[in-house]
Amino acid sequence: MDVSLIIGVYKNIAALDLILQSVAKQSFSGKIEVIIAEDNNAEEMKSAIMQWKTQYRFSIEHVFHQDLGFRKCKILNAAVLKSTAPYLIIIDGDCLLHKKFFESHLRFKQPKTVLYGRRVMLSEKITRKNLKKMKLPNFNLFTLWLNGAKRLDAALYLSKKKPNEKKGFWGHNWSVYKDDFMSVKGFDEQYEEAGIGEDTDIEWRMEMKGFQFFRIKNSAIQYHLWHPLNYTDTSKVEKILNEKKVKWHASHNPDLLLGSLDI
């Protein structure tokens, strides 16, 4: 395998169906492995994955666990352990991919470097329309604008735009070498609420270990399907991270720069 795409999902089978359609349309010609990291254990998901395995030419694997609340970091770590490619791309289960998405991430990959893109925010109208049709649309700036999409500055694909070094990635669209991900022992599984654990925490730990961060906006483009807000209060998880930072700066304890991945 050349690359493992890890998709964090929870119940939304219809969105995942569209994501896999977007994977099938990628310009990248290498070997792709898709690993569905389900923060749940639904029979409907298993049935859908069995069908998709017969439908697509790329490999599809499935990791899951019992639904005991938000344990996204834990199941993402399990998906990384399952992966077989040297390079990882990690996305959320509500983000469709531009046809150059894989090509962009792999073109700029470097050791000890995190690449991250941005996403166009689809409106409720266009999201419901596409989920009803269950057919991947051909997005363009005019139809996105006409249907009320937001963050259209991220929708324009610029093939010659170079990455710019900048921190602040989000967990919905980023990539890194697997060995580098393993070097910080992945995500910290003590985060059991959304908002910090699957991106801000690991970004801080990688930064302290000397990783570089490059934004590839307008190259690695996603289209985020509309949904109601999943959370509003991040104070609990922010407290966990702030306490870790205080302890690290006080002691420079290297264990605080490690996640929970058991290797």
When the candidates are 1.10.533.10, 3.40.50.10420, 3.90.550.10, 3.40.50.300, the CATH number that belongs to 3-257 is 3.90.550.10
Running DSSP on this structure, what letter comes out for residue 27? Answer: S
Q: How confident is the model at residue 3 (pLDDT cuts 50, 70, 90)?
A: very high
Give per-residue pLDDT as tens, 137-157.
888 899 899 889 999 999 999
Decide if pLDDT at 263 tops 80. no
Q: How far is CA 15 from the centre of its chain?
A: 14
Q: How confident is the model at residue 170 (pLDDT cuts 50, 70, 90)?
A: confident
Instruction: Give the contacts of 205 (CB within 8 A, at least 6 positions apart).
Output: 184, 188, 256, 257, 258, 259
Give per-residue pLDDT as tens, 18-31.
999 999 999 999 99
Decide if pLDDT at 122 tops 90. yes
End-to-end CA distance of the chain: 21
Q: Quote the percentage of the chain above a pLDDT of 90.
A: 83
Give per-residue pLDDT as tens, 231-256.
778 899 999 999 999 999 999 999 99
Q: Which of 88-92, 114-118, 168-172, 251-255 is predicted least confidently?
A: 168-172
Residue 90 C-beta-side C-alpha neighbours within 13 Å: 30
For residue 78, give the nearest of 39, 31, 23 by alpha carbon. Answer: 39
For 234-252, b where at least 16 C-beta lie within 10 A, e where not — what string? eeebeebbeebeeebeeee
